[in-house]
Amino acid sequence: MAIKPKDMVKVVDYTILDPTVTVSEVKKICEEAKEYNLVAVCVNPCFVPLAAQLLKDSSVKVSTVIGFPLGASTAKTKAYETKDALDNGAQEIEVVIRTGDIKKKNWNAIRETVKPVIEATKLSGVSKDIITKAIVEISYLEEEEIIAVSKLLREIRVDFIKTSTGFGPQEVADLEDVALIRKIVGRSIGVETYGGVKGFDDAIEKLDAGANRIGTKNAIEVVRSRED
């Protein structure tokens, strides 16, 4: 993906989902995201109201996670979490797919989990521009499993597949995995990679492999390294 250094801000999400996150840290990343005009800030659901308030006069979107980090909550719970997040000001919804369902080829369970989340975004009345992402813990999967779940999520028509929660055994998606997902989904949906991006060159590698969004804790380090 050809991208000029000054345009890196257009594909970077500033993510802060650690267990120890504080209010002051959320305020800090929101201010930094506004300063650099990043795409989005991704926070845990409890911080969505704060982030929405801090970012209301900016173009930076508020993203949050559903069923995080294991994806093990029920479909009804995920749908409720989604509605609550949207009511609180979220504009991007990232729902975690339970890895066990992929391993057991339980495709109906994944459909039954993801579709209510997508429906909740459509029924929210907030905006037709709400983005839905499915987080798949790639580091647990074999190649054929990545192919199968990518095909399914393309069929369900999520907006993005995201490669990690950051809580798995390996938070860095291999470039080959990113390229494989892109090959399977084509340009019909987006691919977001999370983890392993510490600077501009790392981000470029992910984009060249097929990603079109970068989720990272190191967003400012990535965009500061761009050429003015």
User: Model pTM?
Assistant: 0.94
Q: pLDDT at residue 36 above 90?
A: yes
Q: pLDDT at residue 126 above 70?
A: no
Residues 6+ apart with CB under 8 A from 137: 96, 97, 99, 164, 165, 168
Residues 184-197, mean pLDDT to the nearest whole number: 94
Number of domains in the chain: 1
Separation between Cα atoms, residue 195 and residue 92, nearest integer Å:
19
Percent of the chain with pLDDT over 90: 84
Q: What is the pLDDT of residue 207?
A: 95
Tokens linked to 57: 């006069």
Mean pLDDT score of the chain, rounded to an integer? 92
Residue 171: band (very low, low, confident or very high) from pLDDT cuts 50, 70, 90: low
Q: Which of 94, 137, 192, 206 is catalytic?
A: 94
Q: What is the pLDDT of residue 143?
A: 96
Q: What is the pLDDT of residue 54?
A: 98
Check if 94 is active-site. yes
Q: Phi first, then psi: give them for residue 206, nearest 5 degrees.
A: -65, -40
Rounded to 5°, angle at Cα 11 from 7 and 14: 115
Q: What is the pLDDT of residue 3?
A: 73
Residues 149-178, mean pLDDT to the nearest whole number: 91
Residues 179-207, mean pLDDT to the nearest whole number: 94
Q: What is the pLDDT of residue 53?
A: 98
In terms of C-beta density within 10 A (0-12 exposed, 13-18 middle, 19 or more buried), how is residue 95 classed? buried
Check if 32 is active-site. no
Residues 117-137, mean pLDDT to the nearest whole number: 82
Q: Are 167 and 140 in contact (CB under 8 A)?
A: no
187 three-state secondary structure: coil
CATH number of the domain that 153 lies in?
A: 3.20.20.70
Residues 36-63, mean pLDDT to the nearest whole number: 97
193 three-state secondary structure: strand
Q: What is the pLDDT of residue 47?
A: 98
Q: pLDDT at residue 72 above 80?
A: yes
Q: Phi first, then psi: give them for residue 115, nearest 5 degrees.
A: -60, -40
228 three-state secondary structure: coil
Residues 32-43, mean pLDDT to the nearest whole number: 97
Q: pLDDT at residue 2 above 70?
A: no
Q: Which of 61, 78, 133, 162 is catalytic?
A: 162
Domain that holds residue 62: 5-224
Separation between Cα atoms, residue 203 and residue 218, nearest integer Å:
10
